[in-house]
Amino acid sequence: MSNLDNLHIEMFFDNDSATCSYVVVDKATAKAAVIDPVLDYDAAAGQVSTKAADNILAYLAEQGWQLQWILETHAHADHLSAAHYLKQKTAAPIAIGEGIRKVQQTFKMVFNIADAELIGTGDYFDKLFADGETFNIGSVTATVMNTPGHTNDSVSYLIAGNVFVGDSLFMPDGGTARCDFPGGDAHILFRSIQRLYQLPAETVVYVCHDYQPNGRELRFKTTIAEQKQQNIHVKADTVEADFVQKRETRDKTLAVPRLIYPSVQVNIRAGQLPQAESNGVSYVKIPLKQV
């Protein structure tokens, strides 16, 4: 039986942030990876909880699968990561692209984080993947593809004919990710997408978000062929200048993500909350701008 036959993929959807988290399993060895897990967060109440992550843990236990990797496609700006919680429960290492160093260094300055809490060298993460690096989920080989542009640290995971693209691509009717965050660049995103478009046409694409345009039903997987034919922002014949003009024009109309401040502060720490202060409480900062 081939690696492809052994592979099982299960999606868990977080309605609040429209996030797709994935469990990827090598059934031959019962080893699994979780990609982009979500920590529940009630912004109004200032409360975090682990319901979504506990659902994943319960699913793994029910199936008898062992978590081998916790994989982040990037430091998300729209939801808090449950990576640290899953590591506490399973001892599985947390991995992300080595571009996280740039992201940490950028937001360390934005939030004025002291060296004692964040150095910006990839601290908090157990493994920083280089472009083209391979690793195993059980007996299944996975390859890391650097796909920056949305963020400096964005990577995609190519696993036995499937590619998990984070926010670089949405479903074809959703287009592509915004590029106006610190470190984002529409030119770089276009070139990253061209790398993805060089994958075989039948490669299955799993997205990290689906905002269900026009109220359609939830969709979370497509193919490289469908993206190249139908993506509303970048088809196979789209030229870079046209994409950049469209992407940058659209980005100027977009509101700041609702959870960007708590999300980034937690996610550059691999899902750990900021260090508790003298009263035992963790706080997130919101930088204020006078206009």
223 and 203 Cβ atoms separated by less than 8 Å: yes
Which residues pair with residue 23 across a beta bridge? Answer: 10, 34
Tokens for 121? 């060298």
Distance CA 153, CA 1 (A): 35
User: For residue range 85-142, what is the model confidence (pLDDT) as tens digits?
Assistant: 999 999 999 999 999 999 999 999 999 999 999 999 999 999 999 999 999 999 999 9
What is the reported pLDDT for 1? 37
Distance CA 224, CA 241 (A): 22
73 and 208 Cβ atoms separated by less than 8 Å: yes
The gap between the terminal CA atoms of the chain, to the nearest Å, is: 62
Distance CA 159, CA 98 (A): 19
Q: How many residues does the chain have?
A: 291
What is the reported pLDDT for 4? 65
How far apart, in Å, are the Cα atoms of 85 and each of 16, 51, 224, 253, 273? 19, 11, 33, 35, 10
Of the pLDDT bands very low, low, confident and very high (cuts 50, 70, 90), residue 280 is very high
Mark out the alpha helices in 64-185 (DSSP H runs).
83-90, 100-110
Q: Are strands 7-14 and 19-26 parallel, antiparallel or unpaired?
A: antiparallel
More confident residue, 4 or 198: 198
The percent of residues in the chain predicted with pLDDT above 70, rounded, is 99
Classified as helix, coil or strand, 219 is: coil
Which residues pair with residue 96 across a beta bridge? Answer: 128
What is the reported pLDDT for 290? 83
Q: Are strands 31-35 and 66-71 parallel, antiparallel or unpaired?
A: parallel
User: For residue range 174-212, what is the model confidence (pLDDT) as tens digits?
Assistant: 999 999 998 899 999 999 999 999 999 999 999 999 999
Distance CA 145, CA 270 (A): 20
11 and 220 Cβ atoms separated by less than 8 Å: yes
What is the reported pLDDT for 289? 85
pTM of structure:
0.95
Distance CA 271, CA 259 (A): 14
Q: Residue 68: is its pLDDT beyond 60? A: yes
Distance CA 263, CA 117 (A): 17
How far apart, in Å, are the Cα atoms of 281 and each of 6, 118, 236, 288? 45, 18, 50, 21
Helix (H) or strand (E) holding 67: strand 66-71
Tokens for 198? 């060089």
Tokens for 46? 């200032």
Q: Which residue has the tokens 């039986």?
A: 1
38 and 149 Cβ atoms separated by less than 8 Å: no
Nearest to 107 by CA among 69, 74, 71, 147: 74
For the chain, helix (H) and strand (E) counts, in that order, are 8, 15
Distance CA 233, CA 215 (A): 19
What is the reported pLDDT for 82? 98
